[in-house]
Amino acid sequence: MKNTSARKSAQKPMPLFMLILMDLALIGIALLVFAYFHHVRPREEAAVGTMSVRAHARPTAQPTITPAPSAPLDPATPENAAPFAPEATQTPEPTPAPTPDPVGYFGTKFQDKFTTGEVISERNRYVSENVSVTVEKHKENGVIYHLADIYIRDISSFKTLFAEDKFGKGYSESTYQADLRSDSILTISGDFYGLRDYGVIVRNGTLYRTMENAVNDWCVLYWDGTMACYSPGEVDDGLLMEEGAYQSWYFGPMLLDENGQPMTVFNSNVEKRNPRCAIGYFEPGHYCFIVVEGRTSSSKGLSLADLSALMYSLGCKAAYNLDGGETAQMVFDDRTQNKLLDNGRKCSDFVIITEPTFD
């Protein structure tokens, strides 16, 4: 009888809650293994490889030169004076059309922004014959933000950088270390492309990743210096590269509408106050980077609506939101400008301003 009771006791099924706990534990382990191999373990990826050619991109438009007006008649000339008669009627020569600058060259437009060769390097300003960057800290209405006003002579000063110089999953680096390694003038954190398997990713003229249909807003900087933001929809990567895409980001959202006006409705689920990082566009060759501190007692951060209003007030014609929160960081003159949230977060990519290569 005792042996029979023991066998019945041994065959008693495991309680349901224990089975559920075991199943949850197995699922958790499986997710951890998947996350490690898919997101954490470094894994290089192959680029699409298509390249946009700077020489084939649209040229930068030049202002039309208006000839000086003719001198007015001398009012002191007597009324009965004989009129001046030219020896021969001459057809004025047409004013020659100005020669456009090479694609992505803005030196003619912004001559007064650069030096003639010397380098001015101060705590909040860097000016050379090719680059002008001024960084200012602002505190308004309980919010601290850092604004970098940027003029470049050539588009090759506006570059992007991959963490560890590798494209793929699992690669990350601090913005500060990326700045030191690249010897750049100014560095901000990027769109953290490494967290996604999708998106339109063009970096320094090379197409690394594309997709048939975009779900997020996306942004493109072209070789001619223009920047445009696009709503979700079909993506033609062939046309994109033919039109001269130089850089692109896939995070968002866009911060100004197609007419450059501020927005109140966004393609994002992170609209409340947060630390922010964004790129602003004024005109070809003139840009700004902005990093907003947030979630601290000294700075609450900005909502997307407030960030949109700020970019509009600065005079931007287009603006785009990059990864924020702990990622948001600006480094200038080898110093982090903003107070990091929770000691900051490494990122997979960066946007940098450097001396040009004129490639």
pLDDT > 90: what percent of the chain?
Answer: 73
Question: What was the pLDDT predicted at 27?
Answer: 77
3-state DSSP helix/strand/coil percent for the chain, to nearest 5?
A: 20, 30, 50
Rounded to an integer, what distance in angstroms lies between the CA atom of residue 200 and that of residue 235? 8
Confidence of residue 240 (pLDDT cuts 50, 70, 90): very high
Q: Is pLDDT larger for residue 78 or for residue 18?
A: 18
Confidence of residue 294 (pLDDT cuts 50, 70, 90): very high
Rounded to an integer, what distance in angstroms lies between the CA atom of residue 100 and that of residue 102? 6
Q: DSSP labels for 145-206?
A: EEEEEEEESBGGGEEEEEGGG--EES--B-HHHHHHHHT-SEEEE---GGG-S-S-EEETTE
Question: What was the pLDDT predicted at 214?
Answer: 96
Question: What was the pLDDT predicted at 112?
Answer: 96
Question: What was the pLDDT predicted at 66?
Answer: 39
Question: What was the pLDDT predicted at 63?
Answer: 39
Positive or negative, the CA dihedral 145, 151, 154, 157 is: negative
Rounded to an integer, what distance in angstroms lies between the CA atom of residue 34 and that of residue 37? 5
Question: What was the pLDDT predicted at 72?
Answer: 45
Question: What was the pLDDT predicted at 31?
Answer: 63
Confidence of residue 358 (pLDDT cuts 50, 70, 90): confident
CA distances from 357 to 104, 130, 226, 227, 354 (A): 12, 10, 19, 20, 9
Rounded to an integer, what distance in angstroms lies between the CA atom of residue 186 and that of residue 134? 10
pLDDT > 70: what percent of the chain?
Answer: 81
**Type of residue numbered 10:** A
Q: At residue 119, does pLDDT exceed 90?
A: yes
Find the mean pLDDT for residues 323-351: 97
Question: What was the pLDDT predicted at 20?
Answer: 78
Q: At residue 61, does pLDDT exceed 60?
A: no
Dig out the tokens for 229 from the structure: 């933001």
Name the residue among 190, 118, 133, 115 with its Cα closest to residue 333. 133
Average pLDDT, rounded, for the chain: 87
Dig out the tokens for 147 from the structure: 């604004």
**Type of residue numbered 19:** L
Confidence of residue 76 (pLDDT cuts 50, 70, 90): very low
Q: Is pLDDT larger for residue 224 or for residue 18?
A: 224
279 beta partners: 289, 320
Question: What was the pLDDT predicted at 33?
Answer: 53
Q: At residue 77, does pLDDT exceed 50?
A: no
Candidate from 83-87, 99-103, 136-140, 351-355 with smallest mean pLDDT? 83-87
Rounded to an integer, what distance in angstroms lies between the CA atom of residue 178 and that of residue 182? 6
Find the mean pLDDT for residues 270-290: 97
Confidence of residue 55 (pLDDT cuts 50, 70, 90): confident
Find the mean pLDDT for residues 82-104: 66
Positive or negative, the CA dihedral 104, 105, 110, 113 is: positive
Find the mean pLDDT for residues 307-326: 98
